[in-house]
Amino acid sequence: MADTTTGSGGANFVEKLKAYVKTQKGLILAVEIVLCFIIIICYAASLYAGYSTVAICEMIFAIVFFVIFMFGLDKQFQLVNWMWSDLFRAGIGAVLFIITSLVCVIRGAGDGALIAGGVFGLITGLVFAYDTYSIYLQVKSTRQHTAAPTDEGV
């Protein structure tokens, strides 16, 4: 007989997804993923689709970190410092989005899709900058809680 009291794997995934999106980090990553997808659509509709590379790469990185943090894999694989990796991902994403979006908004005369992608890119750059700031505060708080070793024997 099959045991029907245990939940299916799909339901467990959906429950973890809902629970993680309700956290601050999960919400930020979900917003980053959605905004990157919107930017990809805008740049694909414009005459200059090459600017979509930043959005594609950052969306893939955000999805990877979303899955890692959602399933708690950051606690299982401690070979990588996930907090610092996420800090660099968000910081580089903020800088790249702000630069490429400014270029798109300035260059996009007559191309509405490019301007729309640039405006969404500026918003996304600000979200990535907020993510960078929130991760920085976490790094700063974890460093203050760990005491430095002292040499009292000398």
Written as one letter, the residue type at 44 is A
**pLDDT category, 149, cuts 50, 70, 90?**
low
**Domain coordinates in residue numbering, the chain:** 23-142
**Residue among 119, 99, 115 nearest 107 (CA):** 115
Per-residue pLDDT tens over the stretch 25-73? 999 999 999 999 999 999 999 988 888 999 999 999 999 999 999 998 8
Q: What pTM was computed for the model?
A: 0.83
Find out whether 61 and 132 touch, Cβ atoms under 8 Å. Answer: no
